[in-house]
């Protein structure tokens, strides 16, 4: 029997599981503070250069480095 646990609100949580056979399992889940952008599964930073932005590519289903392109600015103060 598999048990799935989804944690959505608390970044540091202890989960306890009690299967039917009365054995006890426990796992601690804590956030990692040293995750780099390149370690994210939906980001590709290979070949990224200074001044580029991350743009989502639907073809690759990832954010990729791209040179910024401004086609139209309407209004505002700069």
Asked if the structure places residue 25 within a domain, the reply is no
Distance CA 26, CA 15 (A): 6
- Contact between 47 and 65 (Cβ < 8 Å): yes
Per-residue 3-state assignment (H helix, E strand, C coil) for the chain: CCCCCCCCCCCCEEEEECCCCCCCEEEEECCCCCCCHHHCCCEECCCCCCCCEEEEECCCCEEEEECCCCCCCCCCCC
Q: What residues make up the domain containing 43?
A: 37-66
Res. 2: pLDDT tops 60: no
* pLDDT greater at residue 57 or residue 6: 57
Asked if the structure places residue 77 within a domain, the reply is no
pTM of the complete model beyond 0.95: no
β partners of residue 16: 26
Domain count, the chain: 1
pLDDT in tens, 24-73: 666 666 676 778 888 888 999 888 899 898 999 999 999 999 988 777 87
């Amino acid at each position: 029997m598999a048990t799935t646990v989804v944690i959505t609100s608390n970044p540091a949580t202890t989960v306890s599981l009690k299967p039917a056979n009365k054995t006890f399992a426990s796992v601690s889940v804590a956030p990692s503070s040293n995750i780099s952008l390149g370690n994210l599964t939906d980001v590709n930073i290979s070949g990224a250069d200074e001044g580029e932005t991350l743009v989502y590519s639907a073809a690759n289903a990832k954010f990729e480095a791209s040179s910024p392109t401004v086609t139209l600015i309407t209004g505002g103060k700069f």
